[in-house]
Structure 1
Amino acid sequence: MSQEGSYGKWTISSSDESEEEKPQLDKPPASPLPDAGQGAAGQPRYTCSEARKAAHRRKLEPMKFSSTDSASEASPCKRQKSGSQEDLGWCLSSSEDELPRERQQEQAEDSRVKEEKGPPSPRDRSARGAGPHGRPASCGLPEEEGEQEVSGEGQDVWDLLDKGNPFQFYLTRVSGIKPKYNTGALHIKDILSPLFGTLVSSAQFNYCFDVNWLVRQYPPEFRKKPVLLVHGDKREAKAHLLAEAKPYGNVTLCQAKLDIAFGTHHTIWLSPLYPRIVHGTHRSGESATHFKADLISYLAAYDAAPLKEWIDTIQEHDLSETNVYLIASTPGRFQGNQKDNWGHFRLRKLLKEHAAPIPKAESWPVIGQFSSIGSLGADESKWLCSEFKETLVTLGKESRTLGSAVPLHLIYPSVENVRTSLEGYPAGGSLPYSIQTAEKQNWLHSYFHKWSADTSGRTNAMPHIKTYLRSSPDFSQIAWFLVTSANLSKAAWGALEKGGTQLMIRSYELGVLFLPSVFDLDSFKVKQKFFSGSSQEPTASFPVPYDLPPELYGNRDRPWIWNIPYVKAPDTHGNMWVPS
């Protein structure tokens, strides 16, 4: 049916479910390219949802803006036909990503080292991963493949990790921006570097996989080491992933069980480097944050044989230096004490037990930042400002329900943020907020604040990171900080059922919570202008990855919605956005 609303007149689905909580029947239609699922010549093969397929197609063929084009939403669009990425008007890396798939495969084969006989099992080796100091690294923004320097001018990876911020919180390096904006950023190649030891095997948990690209991120000497990919793909997408992994004899797959409809496997986390427990010392290797047991519980929730070896490996290692709390979501319906194990009830429990009370806490706002939004109900009382906000405002054992007294600031890119971004409109392909969902919750948009822009007014890059925090009224300090894979949705965080006695979660998510008490602090100081690159900011400041205070949407700002046209103004590369 057609509906007139604040975004214009659009044909919408009659479904009441959100984009991420329903089958992709109303996915944003894409440009008329051959069906990638059929393996059309020259087209990429996809291993994730139909929604992501559509986004990738639109990134490959954005619409070029012409001054002769009508500004009407119904305007026909001129399509670019050149196959080169430069002609497409947006920048990928000048790397092997741009080579034909056949040549990519040849290079992958050429770069492999001779396979070692009889690779050891995970139990016979040390666990290895991202953070050499037992802290997590965070992925938040798109990265380029070809560059080697990660942290600005002249700073190598070792210096960054050894002398970086005391919280060991890192973002993903972005290509095409000024070096100062990559200060303190890492590339996946850096994480997998031989600098941190000899890799024996690895496990990767994610929502989407490009196996060919992933293999190329490993150093050549590690490309034949065992790799386990834990994914949530089903049916056709699973078949494509299997086909893509088949040429790599060292790559095996593990499917996450998603028994509740419309759930996703959305974990993003990079494991630290931990030493093996010395035999006979009778040490548990547990941290004060209970991280080891919580990580094992999360992996056990998959109930998957390939992860049993990794659980055993973790048991044999010392995670005692970990100084963050693990917050996970796993699909299921949980009652009684089990409600506190997962989702936002897990966050509530940790904030109650370990966060310190604050005088006049009702004036300390909550900030949430995310890249996707689910269906939250007809008004704020249905979930956002009831059970979810009750979790976010918890501080200490004596916490009381503050209700509407605590300000709530939600950071989500506006249309203008996307239009003026590094990639322009195609960046919106990774911000899957649909018109079907948005039109049913216009009330939500009054909470929205812009994504940070640099001093020129041009946004650096669109976010894919998700963060939540509690800030002082002047935004100079924070009471806690969470980086997670969980977007603003009930599917990710969980929603109460049966009169509040049961928590239902649809998806796998993973995040880590930073609390000042673990660092012997009362609160974290904040670097308010994260992108300023100011040398006068104290190094002990917590690197919140966007500017504070957040800037409220103006009267003409609208949240980015990915499946409607934008043709009234060109983006930074002269393109329009027209889902056809």
Structure 2
Amino acid sequence: MSRRAAKQGGLVVVKSPFQLIQAQGLPDHLNQDTVTLKDILGDPLIRECWNFNFMHDIDFIRGAFDEDTRHLVKLHIVHGNWKREDPARVRLEAEAACHDNVFLHTAFMPEMFGTHHSKMMIILRHDDAAQVIIHTANSIVKDWTTLTNAVWRSPLLPLLKSSATKDSGQTYPLGSGERFKEDLLNYLRAYDEKRVTCRALTQELSRYDFSSVKGALIASVPGRHRPNSSRPWGWVALKEALGGIPTQDEKAEVVVQISSIATLGAKDTWLRDTFFKALSASRSSPTVRPKFKVVYPTADEIRRSIGGYESGGSIHMRTQSQQQEKQLEYMKPMFHHWSNDASKGEELEDVEVHNSGRNRVAPHIKTYIRQGSNSIDWALLTSANLSKQAWGEAVNSSGEVRLASWEIGVLVWPDILAEGSVMVGTFQTDTPSRSLAEGAGKGKAVVGLRMPYSMPIQKYGKDEIPWVPSMAHAEPDSLGRAWGV
């Protein structure tokens, strides 16, 4: 039985594949089963770390390595600051120049409004093991201390046996470790299409055995792509993956929980006909689409968070233009609070409330979760927010999908984590309780999914609007500060 699985009576119980990042300022019981950057990078056996992200603080990253070996660890920073005069690039270059073991790699950015938004670490160790970490936090102090973020970690991956080092050319099933490896290497190869960026890492990772990995890689690569490509990206990749996963048809809902919402259009055409259609895909051929809900905080939730208004600097939506106002109109009926104790939100029905412990920790995490009445069909942890840049435009007249940003995430569902299992949300812990496991029903095993938000989610009140960082707020936040006034 795996490290993350245990027996409760005759039932196999599996811990959540996603872990929350520890939040400072919370009591210990609300940080149960959480992780810090030092937990991930503090092992003295680490010899090399590739860090893919949007924002980087090199001294903060190096501070998480073991203090006796950090001067020896090769740290590779993959970033998207392609303009030489970009202040972020200038700062990175100055920080890197202080250390002989820090190396900068600039990702090719073909789209003007795209970003290198992927959040991933790949670790190579002295004991000939490797590990892949996909997460939602920028490599800066705030994201790892006062915002809600989460991590998926692969098991430690051993070297392949020599007889298995060559690519067999076989196509592996989605959710298998072999398919995950294939998709990850293809993603890394995309960095090298215009200039050599990740070739050394790709060659190194090809030597490792990924068979213990349980999850599907869902990534975005900037450029123009054919939707029938053998290497799909963005919403096309997500739709293809979800088309192979069985789902419940009754009372299904997909909760889109993000930290930023881009300008999607004055009409809901892309949201409804492209993105929600992709999220509706299922092997079960459902007769109706699931109901869609969007979890995004209001100004009051940001104000009351442990980081106060400053937390909202990482959470974005705009309502200034006429197009953006029209977008707010069609999205407003879908909006739900991050916390479910909002005084102005719609009252919850008389049901049991499950407290995530993160009501006061503003969300930078991004999750997409499909749930039925008693269990969860699938869950995606990703860097991708709700935007065309991240997921891709609709198919254009040339038969192409245009993507602007680099993104990466991991999709999981019950059967790949434990055969014949059901997946249930867990709150303040990664392990389903016995009562929760027994109430989930008929599975041979029960898989937990650590929920970042409390349930049931609470709909916005009639007059509530989402947090917009450009708006000024005179009312003091939890730290006694105003915003933009």
Quick check: TM above 0.5? yes
Q: How does 1:243-322 map to 2 (within 5 A)?
A: 243-270=94-121, 271=132, 272=154, 273-281=156-164, 287=176, 290-303=179-192, 304-322=195-213
Q: CA-atom RMSD, angstroms?
A: 2.9
Structure 2 CA distance, aligned partners of 1:532 and 1:540? Answer: 9
With over 3 angstroms needed to count, the CA separation of the structure-2 counterparts of 1:289 and 1:552, relative to structure 1, is farther
Q: How does 1:26-65 map to 2 (within 5 A)?
A: none
Structure-2 residue corresponding to 1:7: none
As a proportion of its length, which structure holds more strand?
A: 2
With over 3 angstroms needed to count, the CA separation of the structure-2 counterparts of 1:458 and 1:416, relative to structure 1, is farther
Structure-2 residue corresponding to 1:392: 279
Structure-2 residue corresponding to 1:461: 361
Once the two structures are superposed, residues 365-404 of structure 1 have per-residue CA deviations (whole angstroms, 9 ceiling, x without a partner) of 1110000111111122x2111111111111116456x4xx
Structure 2 CA distance, aligned partners of 1:203 and 1:457? Answer: 32
2:75 is matched with which residue: 213, 224, 227? Answer: 227
Percent of matched pairs sharing the same residue: 31
Q: How much does 1:572 deviate?
A: 1.4
Q: How does 1:123-142 map to 2 (within 5 A)?
A: none
Structure 2 CA distance, aligned partners of 1:516 and 1:334? Answer: 31
Q: How much does 1:281 deviate?
A: 4.8
What letter matches 2:185 in structure 1? I
What letter matches 1:177 in structure 2? L
Structure 2 CA distance, aligned partners of 1:282 and 1:246? Answer: 37
Structure 2 CA distance, aligned partners of 1:310 and 1:573? Answer: 44
Structure 2 CA distance, aligned partners of 1:486 and 1:171? Answer: 17
Q: How much does 1:430 deviate?
A: 0.9
With over 3 angstroms needed to count, the CA separation of the structure-2 counterparts of 1:521 and 1:293, relative to structure 1, is same
Structure-2 residue corresponding to 1:358: 248
Q: How much does 1:168 deviate?
A: 3.2
Q: How much does 1:440 deviate?
A: 4.3
The answer on 1:439 being equivalent to 2:325 is: yes
Structure-2 residue corresponding to 1:576: 482
Structure 1 CA distance, aligned partners of 2:402 and 2:120? Answer: 23
The answer on 1:171 being equivalent to 2:15 is: no
Q: How much does 1:407 deviate?
A: 1.2
Structure-2 residue corresponding to 1:185: 34
With over 3 angstroms needed to count, the CA separation of the structure-2 counterparts of 1:275 and 1:339, relative to structure 1, is closer
With over 3 angstroms needed to count, the CA separation of the structure-2 counterparts of 1:336 and 1:435, relative to structure 1, is closer
Structure 2 CA distance, aligned partners of 1:448 and 1:520? Answer: 33
What letter matches 2:99 in structure 1? Y
Q: How much does 1:336 deviate?
A: 4.6
Structure 2 CA distance, aligned partners of 1:274 and 1:548? Answer: 35
3-state DSSP of counterpart to 2:281: coil
With over 3 angstroms needed to count, the CA separation of the structure-2 counterparts of 1:456 and 1:490, relative to structure 1, is closer
With over 3 angstroms needed to count, the CA separation of the structure-2 counterparts of 1:532 and 1:347, relative to structure 1, is closer
2:291 is matched with which residue: 407, 415, 435? Answer: 407
Structure 1 CA distance, aligned partners of 2:120 and 2:221? Answer: 15
Structure 1 CA distance, aligned partners of 2:177 and 2:429? Answer: 33
Q: TM (normalized to structure 1)?
A: 0.65
Structure 1 CA distance, aligned partners of 2:179 and 2:431? Answer: 35
Structure 1 CA distance, aligned partners of 2:197 and 2:357? Answer: 48
Once the two structures are superposed, residues 99-121 of structure 1 have per-residue CA deviations (whole angstroms, 9 ceiling, x without a partner) of xxxxxxxxxxxxxxxxxxxxxxx
Q: How much does 1:480 deviate?
A: 0.6
Structure 1 CA distance, aligned partners of 2:426 and 2:35? Answer: 21
With over 3 angstroms needed to count, the CA separation of the structure-2 counterparts of 1:351 and 1:457, relative to structure 1, is closer
Q: TM (normalized to structure 2)?
A: 0.78
Question: Does the Cα contact within 8 Å between 1:531 and 1:547 map onto a contact in 2?
Answer: no
Structure 2 CA distance, aligned partners of 1:554 and 1:531? Answer: 30
With over 3 angstroms needed to count, the CA separation of the structure-2 counterparts of 1:523 and 1:365, relative to structure 1, is farther
As a proportion of its length, which structure holds more helix?
A: 1
Q: How much does 1:556 deviate?
A: 3.3
Structure-1 residue corresponding to 2:347: none
Structure 1 CA distance, aligned partners of 2:431 and 2:227? Answer: 47
With over 3 angstroms needed to count, the CA separation of the structure-2 counterparts of 1:534 and 1:439, relative to structure 1, is same
Q: How much does 1:265 deviate?
A: 0.4
Q: How does 1:204-243 map to 2 (within 5 A)?
A: 204-224=51-71, 225-235=73-83, 236=86, 237-243=88-94
Judge which range, 314-323 or 527-536, deviates more: 527-536
What letter matches 1:344 in structure 2? W
Structure-1 residue corresponding to 2:469: 562
Structure 2 CA distance, aligned partners of 1:533 and 1:450? Answer: 25
Q: How much does 1:542 deviate?
A: 2.0
What letter matches 1:193 in structure 2? G
Structure-2 residue corresponding to 1:543: 450
Once the two structures are superposed, residues 396-422 of structure 1 have per-residue CA deviations (whole angstroms, 9 ceiling, x without a partner) of 16456x4xx531110001111111111
1:422 is matched with which residue: 299, 306, 310? Answer: 306
What letter matches 1:365 in structure 2? E
Structure 1: which 5+ runs fail to align? Answer: 1-131, 136-162
- Highest Rg: 1 or 2? 1
Question: Does the Cα contact within 8 Å between 2:390 and 2:404 map onto a contact in 1?
Answer: yes
Question: Does the Cα contact within 8 Å between 1:284 and 1:318 map onto a contact in 2?
Answer: no
Q: How much does 1:254 deviate?
A: 0.5
Structure 2 CA distance, aligned partners of 1:521 and 1:204? Answer: 33
With over 3 angstroms needed to count, the CA separation of the structure-2 counterparts of 1:563 and 1:311, relative to structure 1, is same
What letter matches 2:46 in structure 1? L
3-state DSSP of counterpart to 2:405: coil
